[in-house]
Amino acid sequence: MKALLEFENITFTYERNGKAVLQNFSMKIPVGKKCAILGRNGSGKSTILSMANGLLRPNEGKLFWKGEELSFKKKRLIEFRQKTGLVFQNAEEMLLSPTVYEDIAYGLLNAGYKGDLLEKRLMETIKRYALNDLQDRPIHHLSLGEKRRVALAGVMALEPELLLLDEPTSFLDPVQTENLLNELNKIHEQGTTVVMATHDLNLAYEWADLFYVIDYGQLVFEGEPDQFFSNESFVLEKGLIVPILFQVRQLLKDVLELQAVSKEEAVAKIKEMLGQRRITIGG
């Protein structure tokens, strides 16, 4: 499996002589997958995402981008940071420009775009993320869902190969959550590898191809979502729960005496039973 980004034996401490947040941490993110990083509060998920974006430098160990060791020299780091876009947990707080248009332009300017190229990319981004009606609006007049869309658009304007998202659906309503997932699926279909840290296990199960479970700064599971949730005692031990979607799939399989029930079939069945657009049960 070819790794896009690899963490190799990384140790990281925020404070001098402080407790290591990551210890001998190794993880490979393959090209072209939809990955979810899971783990209890404080397990190290945001730290991993910041390091994957070159914002934090390991105390020990190495990072590899497409097999090549990451250099922390300024120029190389700037190049690397453009290839790995990070949308922060409170993305809306990162929007500092007066308007949507200016915010996206600011990111492009910082990345060295100017003149016609800047204008072209700006217009493409505004169109692609359906921001036409919002472009001249002051950022503080936007809803949370709209602010998240602007933050995502700002990062995607730089066409990263790896998109990193820290709890992108927190505080979004079910419709906005669904819109965001549709957007992420489009981004993924166009060739971007997507990694999301989330506490929403139903969503992670429905969306991700690959799980990384972090506990106390260690990678304790890497693999398929079904494999992870099949071992309930392990899931509970890691401070997580088996989501309702997984349970319904197992139940339907038994009741209907089928070999397998796809996630899509299970989602459709739950929606039919609950008469809802999206599943919002459990964490």
Ligand X SMILES: Nc1ncnc2c1ncn2[C@@H]1O[C@H](COP(=O)(O)OP(=O)(O)OP(=O)(O)O)[C@@H](O)[C@H]1O
What residues make contact with ligand X under the rule CB under 6 A? 14-15, 21, 39, 41-47
Query: C-beta of 48: minimal distance to ligand X in Å?
Result: 7
Rank residues 44 and 160 by Cβ distance to ligand X and give the closer one. 44
- Within 10 Å of residue 265's Cβ, how many Cβ atoms? 16
Residue 80 near residue 65, CB atoms below 8 Å: yes
Lookup: tokens for 17: 């002589």
**DSSP code per residue over 87-145:** E-TTGGGG--SSBHHHHHHHHHHHTT--HHHHHHHHHHHHHHTT-TTTTTSBGGGS-HH
Rank residues 69 and 237 by Cβ distance to ligand X and give the closer one. 237
Residue 221 near residue 211, CB atoms below 8 Å: yes
Residue 136, strand partner residues:
none
Rank residues 15 and 264 by Cβ distance to ligand X and give the closer one. 15
Lookup: tokens for 102: 């200016």
Query: C-beta of 60: minimal distance to ligand X in Å?
Result: 17
Rank residues 57 and 120 by Cβ distance to ligand X and give the closer one. 57
Query: C-beta of 115: minimal distance to ligand X in Å?
Result: 38
Rank residues 40 and 253 by Cβ distance to ligand X and give the closer one. 40
Query: C-beta of 198: minimal distance to ligand X in Å?
Result: 9
For CA atoms 40, 56, 129, 185, give the dihedral sign. negative
Query: C-beta of 165: minimal distance to ligand X in Å?
Result: 12
Query: 31-64: buried (b, 16+ CB within 10 Å) or exposed (e) per residue?
Result: eebbbbbbbeeebbbbbbbbbbbbebebeebebe
Query: C-beta of 35: minimal distance to ligand X in Å?
Result: 15
Residue 197, strand partner residues:
37, 166
Rank residues 23 and 176 by Cβ distance to ligand X and give the closer one. 23
SS3 51: helix
Rank residues 12 and 205 by Cβ distance to ligand X and give the closer one. 12
Lookup: tokens for 111: 């990345």
Query: C-beta of 167: minimal distance to ligand X in Å?
Result: 7
Lookup: tokens for 95: 């929007």
Query: C-beta of 279: minimal distance to ligand X in Å?
Result: 21
Rank residues 19 and 277 by Cβ distance to ligand X and give the closer one. 19
